[in-house]
Structure 1
């Protein structure tokens, strides 16, 4: 706001040193022109029109002769002539006499060699001179567009101020009319007042309402910056509407028009740039509600992508609307250059789309243990170009997303159950009744453990190997991480060892047995099961279950 105020004060001083002629003459044309109407060339028609609308030589009836009134004979010619000049002024079009052709047979090569002349194709696309007979005049099409373009140039009733303000006074002070000085003062006061009102609404009212809704921190961090920039945009918008009513010198106003035309798309770009932070904060909250950690990586990438998109689009609008540059050749050049860049950066583009597929399909997320070819480790970060995996050697592997998107990925982190399969080997001298009771005890251990799958497991005596009786132990753990799986394995194996010790079951290992006659003074190594019965095995199993697993028989 201070910058706008200083600019207005500087404008007052600069305007006082300038001429108020709409026509910017580079060759003393205004001094040489006489009062006769001369329409022989675009140059003389332009001089005739603007000279007869100057304050010190105001003859709108003479200026109206430079317009083609075909089909509009009953129109208020003097009023439309004045409005046409106001359109030039309001849109900041400086008509330079040195750039106007002074040839009766002038042809516009950009318009198919037609006898027409455009003053400014960007700012005044519908206003041009055309030759009719031997005379150059503002075309009948241009005359028909005057009312519409005047409303667009001075919208929301500001056109009424063009007639009201000069009634305040036409005395000159420091090169400015009295009504212009008063108008500038009112405009500066209006800027300060509008800034104060919008600041109050944003800092007090808006923040109070947001706090009452329970979003005080979010509002102050994200919404308040957007509201402040938006309030400044409205001030710039209102200032650009009302300052043109002051009819400032074209040398000044033509530059101010460019400044305002650049400021408006620039402010809108900044607004959307900050809105991206609001959108990103909303997605952060959504990501926190999901179990997936991939969303947490996606939000920062989404924020950066949207901000880059806003900056690119905003720059194009500034170039087109603010600086009146034709961006079509620029976009065409980008498309041709884009093909060349795409051919030179195929791997980069492939990796980018690979990252898109990872975010869409979600084959894994941050924290998952994955295996893919030589890759075996935990996912730490998923970027736009590569995925970072921490191996179990504590090294870091960077895998291009294009490669990992095409590869087969085994995601151990998405397992609902973690399988545990082993073979329990016992010695051949174990009686069948003891094997039965031992297997029953193994099943009870699985059922009693808090993290095993109860609806599906397999524990059977399933093989007679060369040195042992083999019992298949096939169970699943319902745990989220590998350390918890290892802890559950540890607990099961400890219980199995205790059960074997209680029942007297010996685990087998690769051995060779040499049979010898027994010696009376030596005790045999093999356990004596002759005195054991099936009933005694059941008693031992019951005691184990009651003591270790807390089950009643």
Structure 2
């Protein structure tokens, strides 16, 4: 199973590289660099004439040896073995080939062909050195060892892969010493042992089919029993989502367990290595399908579970996104499954991946806006800055969201028109959502006539603030009215408060009530609102008082003579004398009456 995981990881990595290539393909420079590097690597690979026995690669050597022994051509099979200098007779090499076959039949195993390297340099990174490849295991006298292939040089200098001398030396020359007769040979009728098909007794082919059926039935029974027993001890397994996850795991685990039982059963029954190798790639395919089927069912379950929850909350945009992602994930799984199965059966998928990569480049460039809009829709669904029915402002568009689709969002404006905004642009704009505010801002500014006296302003500051404190829909913190500006055409009072309302219509009702009450107070004060105007005064000119001017002149003269002129800067001692001489809050205010700190300082 470890080798299956390695093979699956390899194909998954290839598929992931293909996807990343498609995504990153918008950069033409990077794409050209990748193609150039690939071309250079192809040019650097040396080419050797074909070996008539197919021994240029580890997989070719194993396939050639299995084919030779299936034809009972042990002289040819011996050519796949390294030459042991200790053996002088040719028939001893034939005996070695027969011994290796019997060893593999009874106490050995060779990896599926798809897990054996099909490259001239062999499997790299396996910690065995560049001249050795591990292609199976065997046991002699309870001693388990690795079956290795060795990379040697042929007469033309090209690589020739042979079963290594270390492996050959472990083969017993006495064939009967390998093991006792296998279970199948003891139970099978002689007629099935004597009649052969493709060099293998019929008993082995029939036993292989029987083991497949028994293994699947056993796996079926085990998984069915597990589904019944698990909820008895784990109550969460009876309810969603745990029950759905267990159901999703049932079929893939059944297939995985069936393959495992099949492999173990075929070895224990003593099925010939020729038959087992013919079924080896099929077991790998079943395992790959089991893993991909598990991912398929998990994707299906999770997406349907999310779809039901989103539909329950009325999030139709989320439902659309889930459906799209589910289809995309299933299509990717199908493509990945086809690539892995073709590669398992020996088809070269690198050319197809290169073609898909070029097609992906063209598709990515052509569908750039589509991808951008899809990413924008995913962002809208994940962050949820707006929902269907929200009143919002997106850029310069103000209105109610009617639909959030996979490509665009539709907004009903105040003019009752429909504005469709692509989701890529929608998610990149500044979005102001009015639907989720907790309070409404009440912030008018009243402009009073210039004839308004200071006492009238004081009266208005008190009474207008009293309205805010007294109103049940106004939040008292903060609620303020301030005299903020002496403008060019009015004296300005600013009101700042927050109003509690469930929606904008109710806020307009409360705002209307506040405006009317404040207008009544301004009318009662004896002043009124200012209008942008110009006033022309026609009056007799009054000359400045010469007595006051002389008085001020004498005061400034005394400052000069005494050296106390506070210009251009005040004396620090004079500043200290002036500190806190103005009463604040002013005398007569309620705050002043309750604040004893200033009175104590003054006394």
TM-score (norm 2): 0.52
Query: Residue 441 of structure 2: which of 407, 413, 419 is its match?
Result: 419
Structure 1 counterpart of 2:162: 141
1:70 matched to which residue of 2?
83
SS where residue 419 of structure 2 aligns? strand
Q: Separation in 2 of the partners of 1:478 and 1:409?
A: 23
Q: Please, which runs of 5 or more residues in structure 1 have no aligned partner?
A: 1-39, 94-109, 113-122, 151-158, 512-553
**Among 378, 386, 402, which residue is 2:424 paired with?**
402
How many residues are paired up?
421
1:167 aligns with 2:186: yes
Maintained 8 Å contact 1:378/1:389: yes
Equivalent position of 2:220 in the other structure: 195
Distance in 1, matches of 2:390 and 2:166, equals 67
Cα distance in 2, alignment partners of residues 464 and 92 from structure 1: 92
Distance in 1 (alpha carbons) for counterparts of 2:70 and 2:489: 119
**Counterpart secondary structure, 1:217:** coil
1:282-361 to 2 correspondences below 5 Å: 303=326, 306-321=329-344, 323-355=345-377
Kindly tell me: are residues 84 and 230 of structure 1, through their superposed partners in 2, closer, same or farther at Cα, counting changes over 3 Å? closer
Contact 1:84–1:146 (CA<8 Å) still a contact in 2? no
Judge conservation of contact 2:411–2:418 (CA < 8 Å) in 1: yes
Asked if residue 264 in structure 1 is aligned to residue 287 in structure 2, the reply is yes
Instruction: Flag the 1:299–1:453 CA change in 2: closer, same or farther, 3 A.
Output: farther
Structure 2 Cα separation of the partners of residues 50 and 406 of structure 1: 63
- The answer to whether the Cα contact below 8 Å between 1:351 and 1:386 also exists between their aligned partners in 2 is yes
Maintained 8 Å contact 2:83/2:165: no
8 A Cα contact 1:370 1:378, kept in partner:
yes
Q: Give the distance between the partners of 1:471 and 1:413, measured in 2 at CA.
A: 30
Residues 268 and 178 of structure 1, relative CA distance in 2, 3 Å threshold? closer
Supply the distance in 2 between the matched residues of 1:254 and 1:225 (Cα, whole angstroms). 31
> CA separation of 1:208/1:278 partners in 2, compared to 1, >3 Å: closer, same or farther?
farther
Q: Residues 94-147 of structure 1: CA distance to partner in whole angstroms, max 9, x if unpaired?
A: xxxxxxxxxxxxxxxx979xxxxxxxxxx99x979999779xxx9663345979
Equivalent position of 1:456 in the other structure: 478
Q: CA deviation at 1:271?
A: 0.5
Flag the 1:69–1:286 CA change in 2: closer, same or farther, 3 A. Answer: same
After TM superposition, list the pairs within 5 Å mapping 1:464-503 onto structure 2: 472-477=494-499, 484-494=503-513, 497=516
Comparing 174-183 with 265-274, greater Cα deviation is found at 174-183
- Which of 464, 476, 491 lines up with 1:442 in the alignment? 464
Match of 1:233 among 250, 256, 277: 256
1:376 aligns with 2:406: no
Q: Is the 8 A contact 2:223 2:250 kept in 1?
A: no
SS of structure 2 residue aligned to 1:326: coil
C-alpha change, 1:142 and 1:425, in structure 2 (3 Å) is: same
Structure 1 residues 470 and 187, CA gap change in structure 2 (3 angstroms)? closer
Query: Which residue is equivalent to 2:231?
Result: 207
How many angstroms does 1:82 deviate by? 3.6
258 and 456 in structure 1: CA distance in 2 versus 1, 3 angstrom threshold: same
**1:324–1:226 Cα change, 3 Å:** same
Alignment root-mean-square deviation, CA:
5.8
Name stretches of at least 5 consecutive residues in structure 2 with no aligned partner.
Answer: 1-50, 55-60, 88-92, 122-134, 137-147, 172-177, 196-200, 532-603
Alignment check: 8 A CA contact 1:369 1:412 kept: yes
Cα distance, 1:168 vs. partner? 2.1
For the Cα contact (< 8 Å) 2:321–2:406, is it kept in 1? no
Query: Alignment partner of 1:70: what SS?
Result: coil
**Matches of 1:382 and 1:338 in 2, distance apart?**
28
Name the counterpart of 2:99.
79
User: Per-residue CA shift, 1:245-289, capped at 9, x if unaligned?
Assistant: 675897x9887555444332222112012223555588789999x
Deviation at 1:477, TM superposition (A): 3.5
Deviation string 1:35-56 (CA, Å, 9 cap, x unpaired) is xxxxx9749x99x98899569x
